[in-house]
Amino acid sequence: MRPNILVVDDEKDMTRLLQRTLEPELNCRVTMAFSGEMALNILELADTAFDIVISDIRMPGMDGFDLLEQLKQRYPDLTVVMLTAYGNIESAVAAIKKGAYDFIAKPFEQDEIIFKIQKALERSRLISENRRLQKACQADSLPLIGQSPAMQKVFEKIALVADSDVTVLITGESGTGKDLTARSIHALSPRKNKPYIPVNCPTIPEHILESELFGYKKGAFTNAYRDRTGLFQEADHGTIFLDEIGDVGSTIQTKLLRVIQEKEVKPLGDTRVDHVDVRIIASTNQDLQQKIRDKEFREDFFYRLSVITIELPPLRDRVTDIPLLCDHLLAKNCEKLNKPARHLSENVVDLFMKHPWPGNVRELENVLVQGILYATSDTICLADIPIDKKKASDCVCMNFDTDMRQLTYKEAKENTLTQFNHNYIGALLSMTEGNITQAARRCAMDRQALQQIMKRYGIDPEKFRVKAS
């Protein structure tokens, strides 16, 4: 489908120039608007979505800044590129701070504008793919859930690799969802209707793992009474997921390296090789670079595995996702345990947001399952939760106990307010990807009032905005 681009400029000659420049070079469709108001009407009435808006900054009536603010409120994911006269770069930088993706100085070179608009179109494609990915991942079969900036980056990486056959290495602590990530990649790939074979490497002794992966011929070893097809052959034309690859020994590493390089496997006791078309996804919770230094992991195998690396964040680095995860896990496990629907008390949610979660999402689910079983009503209370409340409280209050006692009342109060505002407003901005208008709406404040508080406490919304990779 051809990309749709909306060009907004009160100078009609400029809009026609952009149309003549972009349409043949980018195989796109350019729609022209001669004012900010006209642009908003076109966007509202259009049958199909626009991929990019290119807008001049200086226009009579609604100028580019006003239009940008309206666009970010109504279409927060829309990619906006600003046009500015040469020598007025300060305005363009200000526009980027307000949410524009890029700017182009007039007069411009054709190569420059083609390059920048190509980049902007790629960003729009990634955002669109990201939305599709999240919708698929949040289906019952693939509950990979999150709206935090850290998880947005994960979704973007999955979107980048899903359509290809590149080998992917998924890293992260135990319980962060490495298996779900691998399943998501497979489900969104052209191989989705072919086999998906997960292999939990640490649970299989190495001498058995080799025969399981590559198969064997009758008589290859004691008790090999018949031919056995290996997991790689079973995964032909599909995906094989090697979970915790850091635990396999050097012999298996060498043979897996051959599979990646040659696309062939040799069953034990056989003289022939079998050619296989298999996509390999691996995962680890270990530091493979350190294992390479310790001579426990082959360096060439590591670089073959990690063509693309997806690093999953621990739960403590995406606390704003906890309410979403709780909603999903409660619904899932209440149905599984044949219990009526449950919800969490405010005290429990507050405790969850403070808990360090060393076991990540897996620990969260275990705690919720126990809460479902212990609860005597439809509300899960603190008494139903198997978490050391004092330990969680100590984690939060530690700074106060050790540092604040040395301060005056006024200093301690200001310190506490600063910490509260950074935590509270930071969580809101994280949930809204840095959108101040949406954050103000969530906390029932006027936008200008929220901006004043952010300015006073040095809270930068740019830190919470997701950048397209």
User: Strand, coil or helix: what is 57?
Assistant: coil
167 and 305: one domain?
yes
387 and 412: one domain?
no
Of 106, 122, 138, which residue is a domain's last?
Answer: 122
80 and 9: one domain?
yes
303 and 325: one domain?
no
185 and 235: one domain?
yes
Residue 416: CATH number of its domain: 1.10.10
Residue 249: CATH number of its domain: 3.40.50.300
Predicted local distance difference test score (pLDDT) of residue 139: 46
Tell me how far apart the alpha carbons of residues 154 and 160 are, in angstroms, rounded to a whole number: 10
Sheet architecture: strand order including 279-284:
196-200, 239-243, 279-284, 168-171, 308-311
Predicted local distance difference test score (pLDDT) of residue 244: 93
Within a domain: residue 138? no
Predicted local distance difference test score (pLDDT) of residue 406: 59
User: Strand, coil or helix: what is 223?
Assistant: coil
Tell me how far apart the alpha carbons of residues 464 and 4 are, in angstroms, rounded to a whole number: 28
Tell me how far apart the alpha carbons of residues 29 and 451 are, in angstroms, rounded to a whole number: 38
Identify the CA nearest to 199 among candidates 259, 150, 144: 259
The domain containing residue 354 runs over which residues?
Answer: 316-393
415 and 269: one domain?
no
Predicted local distance difference test score (pLDDT) of residue 81: 93
55 and 118: one domain?
yes
88 and 10: one domain?
yes
322 and 427: one domain?
no
List average pLDDT for each run of 10 residues in the chain, which is 469 residues long: 90 91 91 91 84 92 91 88 78 82 86 89 77 55 73 88 93 92 92 92 85 82 76 93 92 91 86 89 94 92 93 89 89 91 86 87 93 90 78 46 58 76 78 82 83 86 62
Of 122, 141, 167, which residue is a domain's last?
Answer: 122
Q: What dihedral angle (degrees, nearest 10) is formed by the CA atoms of 271, 274, 275, 278?
A: -130
The total number of structural domains in the chain stands at 4
Of 313, 342, 372, which residue is a domain's last?
Answer: 313
207 and 290: one domain?
yes
162 and 277: one domain?
yes
Within a domain: residue 240? yes
φ, ψ for residue 239, nearest 5 deg: -130, 140
- What number of helices (H) and strands (E) belong to the chain? 19, 14
239 and 257: one domain?
yes
DSSP 299-352: HHHHHHHTSEEEEPPPGGG-GGGHHHHHHHHHHHHHHHTT----EE-HHHHHHH
Predicted local distance difference test score (pLDDT) of residue 447: 85
Q: Look up tokens 């226009």; give the residue.
A: 59
Predicted local distance difference test score (pLDDT) of residue 409: 72
